[in-house]
Amino acid sequence: MARPDRIVVVGASLAGLRAAEALRARGFEGDLTIVGAERHPPYTRPPLSKQLLAGAQEPGDCALRHDDLGADWRLGTSAVGLDPDRRSVLLSGGEELSYDGLLLATGSAARPWPGPLPRAGVHTLRELDDALALRAAVAQGGPVAVVGAGFVGSEVAATLRGRGLAVTLIDVAPLPMTPLGPRLGRLCAALHAEHGVELRLSAGVEAFEGDERLKAVRLAGGERVAATVAVVATGAVPNVGWLRGSGLTLERGGVLCDAACAAVGVEDVFCAGDIACWPHPLADGEPVRVEHWSNAAEQGAAAAANLLADPGDRVPYAVVPSFWSDQYEVKIQSVGFPHRGTAEHHVVGSLEDRRFLLAYEREGRVVGAAGFRAMRHIPHFRRHVADRAPIEHVLDGAAGPARAPVTPAAGPRQT
């Protein structure tokens, strides 16, 4: 395969940036164009719901180094069409970019609320401008309603409580952080309650009341939760709408790829980050998407390496997923695929002391682990997941109590 001369990276966030860095590090000296829908240069997203929202950081603190790549940056410009046969990307301004190699890393957008909203007071949080707008809104005071008790919603609730605001956390699920199972979910709920967050769980939202400005969130049972600011944190939608009709296969919300992150059915197109849907060996070859920071960074670099490689030299991307979430004084971490577990085991530390690790089992093998303040154990259990270690081996060698398994309650699927 001839080495490409012109590579286009669509997506200027973490996955796209790491891909561009890997291309240059691996000796690509040709034309490199990076297209980004946001007007901001690359930045890291985890602080948006934590330090930036809290006022402890400013936008410049979130910036990622990007000016040494010799790239043509097209920021504030969206890709609106792809023609794989002509090897061209159509931009929002009408320009077409030709490519020899294409890497798609367009990430996700916050899932919008499907019903009517007041003109002001209801926010989502995905981008830097979202975080700044929310920070300005809560500077006027509360109370605040956070709809969605997943990773982002729980972090926002914790951050705003840290600023002294009255916060109500609402979710249709019975517990926060549902992909991590019921035991960890109950501890997360207790953590929020201990810090003064009002919980409304197993509660759907019927409407956001108010015309010009938000006044209250009305729950399905009729309860009205007073709020002048609300944050809708009900998940993310991969940015793949512009690819419909392009010939790429869209599956599970993303772009279907092979094990090496190459888009199925087309040539010289690779994907990374939130939009990549690829068969993971630790998920029994089932296509998965992973929407976490570490995956964006690692998959961006891996996809770029495979883009430059001959087809026979491409390396399957099989990194064990991991994530972390800082809430109050607790660091919550996870590795592997906890949502695939059919039983969970307390293997390390003390739940009462909020220092513990849970292992998740499927068909006798470790498929994931998660816990509070378990940083020194996480690398060890990441290896267990990678090795598909038998659960008996993990329990026999556990540094803490191995207890009876708990079958997780059914919850929303994490992709």
| 94 and 126 share one domain | no
What span, in angstroms and rounded, lies between the C-alpha atoms of 346 and 271? 36
What span, in angstroms and rounded, lies between the C-alpha atoms of 17 and 12? 6
Residue 288 lies in a domain: yes
Residue 15 lies in a domain: yes
Taking each helix axis as running N to C, give the angle between helix 14-25 and helix 293-308, from 0 to 180 degrees, rounded to the nearest 10.
Answer: 40
Q: Residue 160 is encoded by which pair of tokens?
A: 């705003």
| 292 and 220 share one domain | no
**Nearest CA to 127 among 141, 107, 150, 143?**
107
How far apart, in Å, do the first and last CA atoms of the chain sit? 33
Boundary-marking domain end, from 234, 269, 291: 234
Residues 6+ positions from 154 with CB-CB distance below 8 Å: 169, 176, 177, 188, 192, 325, 327
Q: Residue 16, CB half-sphere, CA atoms under 13 Å: how many? A: 30
Domain that holds residue 376: 329-396
Q: Name the residue type at position 398.
A: A
Taking each helix axis as running N to C, give the angle between helix 182-194 and helix 151-162, from 0 to 180 degrees, rounded to the nearest 10.
Answer: 20
Q: What is the pLDDT of residue 397?
A: 66
Q: What is the pLDDT of residue 3?
A: 80
What span, in angstroms and rounded, lies between the C-alpha atoms of 207 and 217? 6
Q: Residue 11 is encoded by which pair of tokens?
A: 């997506």
| b/e burial code for range 180-195 (CB count within 10 A of at least 16 → b) | bbbbbbebbbebbeee
Residue 405 lies in a domain: no
Q: Each residue's pLDDT tens digit in the chain (415 positions)?
A: 678 999 999 999 999 999 999 999 999 999 999 999 999 999 999 999 999 999 999 999 999 999 889 999 999 999 999 999 999 999 999 999 999 999 999 999 999 999 999 999 999 999 999 999 999 999 999 899 999 999 999 999 999 999 999 999 999 999 999 999 999 999 999 999 999 999 999 999 999 999 999 999 999 989 999 999 999 999 999 999 999 999 999 999 999 999 999 999 999 999 999 999 999 999 988 999 999 999 999 999 999 999 999 999 999 999 999 999 999 999 999 999 999 999 999 999 999 999 999 999 999 999 999 999 999 999 999 999 999 999 998 887 664 443 444 444 333 233 3
| 183 and 138 share one domain | yes
Residue 370 lies in a domain: yes
Structure pTM? 0.92
| 245 and 158 share one domain | no
Boundary-marking domain end, from 203, 234, 265: 234
Q: What is the pLDDT of residue 393?
A: 86
Residue 267 lies in a domain: yes
Residue 116 lies in a domain: no
- Please give the C-alpha separations between residue 110 and each of 86, 239, 255, 290, 345, in angstroms, as whole numbers: 32, 10, 18, 15, 33
At residue 86, what are phi and psi to the nearest 5 degrees?
-90, -5
| 130 and 230 share one domain | yes
Q: Residue 185 is encoded by which pair of tokens?
A: 């979910």
| 198 and 258 share one domain | no
Residue 19 lies in a domain: yes
| 35 and 182 share one domain | no
| 246 and 98 share one domain | yes
Q: Residue 78, CB half-sphere, CA atoms under 13 Å: how many? A: 9
Residue pair 140/228 in contact (Cβ under 8 Å)? The answer is: yes
- CATH number, position 58: 3.50.50.60
Residue pair 370/382 in contact (Cβ under 8 Å)? The answer is: no
Question: Domain count of the chain?
Answer: 3
| 272 and 302 share one domain | yes
**Nearest CA to 42 among 64, 68, 72, 59?**
64
| 128 and 230 share one domain | yes
| 87 and 158 share one domain | no
**SS3 track for 27-87:** CCCCEEEEEECCCCCCECCHHHHCHHHHCCCCHHHHECCCCCCCCEEEECCCEEEEECCCC
Boundary-marking domain end, from 280, 313, 346: 313
Residue 411 lies in a domain: no
| 85 and 141 share one domain | no
- CATH number, position 386: 3.30.390.30
